[in-house]
Amino acid sequence: MDFKSVAGKVAIVTGASRGIGEAIARVYGENGMKVVCAARSAEQGERVAEEIRRKGGEAVFVQTDCSDTTQIKRLIDRAVETYGKLDGVVSNAGIGQGGNPLHEYETKDYDNIFALNSKGVFAGMKYGAEAIFQSHSAGGFLINVASVAGILPQRGQALYVATKHGVVGMTKAAALDYAPHGITVNAICPGYTRTSIFGDAPEQALEYFAKDCPAGRMGQPEECAYLALFLASDLARYITGAAIPVDGALSAGSKNVSTWKHPEILE
């Protein structure tokens, strides 16, 4: 039970400059994968690629705005030009949005979030699948970083929820398309995770998210990254079409009042 099967695989990770994308890129590099890091920020993206190389891994950075499908196509072409093949794409780039009732969003808000969270993921899957087929990859994979909001709707997040439900739906449909051809397609659905998506949220807000989670804490990006490593490995070749929550039981059901008859077991 190890991850030697990923060594030498070529993978693109979008949104690799920080948060969950950065964690995935690092974990891939540490386990012998050739990582193509993509992000809008050249400074942050180059830093991640350089740190992977400094630790003995292989990585390049390609500045990419993943809301632009032509840039995603260029990114995938660049990966193949650099490493001669493509085995997988992790579509992680995305944005959050507000906490407002649906009617208070503008149509431009819809356009902005769907361009990145939905159309960008579609393009990563489309062009990624084509390149994986053309590479004759023996262990091809597509991983989409969705959200617990793709499983469990959240108040005030109508547009974000819509994009993440769409990602989960595309993931499952594509898994049916590619299962006969050996390409796995899965979605990772993070819950409250300490990343920059929370912006400058005050500590009180972060404490609320921790208390709202049955596990009593927020997640760490690495907890999603190790799942992404598993899904890229030969250990997970029979797992496809799954939307896997990494959320401390947040999406498992609503919390209620319960009383332990024998709380002394915790002592």
Catalytic site residue from 28, 83, 127, 160: 160
**Whole-angstrom distance, CA of residue 170 vs CA of residue 254:** 26
Active site residue 160: yes
pLDDT per residue over 152-165, tens digit each? 999 999 999 999 99
DSSP 48: H
Closest residue by Cα to residue 151 from 249, 243, 213, 240: 243
- pTM of the predicted model as reported, rounded to 2 decimal places: 0.94
Domains and CATH numbers, the chain: 4-250 (3.40.50.720)
Distance of CA 87 to the CA centre of its chain: 16
User: If you search the block for the tokens 């830093």, which residue do you land on?
Assistant: 47
Both tokens of 163, joined, read 């994009």
Report the pLDDT value the prediction gives residue 221, as an integer from 0 to 100: 97
**Whole-angstrom distance, CA of residue 120 vs CA of residue 38:** 12
Closest residue by Cα to residue 72 from 11, 129, 17, 121: 121
Both tokens of 87, joined, read 């085995």
pLDDT per residue over 204-219, tens digit each? 888 888 998 999 999 9
List of the chain residues with pLDDT < 70: 1, 199-200
116: left (phi over 0), alpha (psi -120 to 50) or beta: alpha
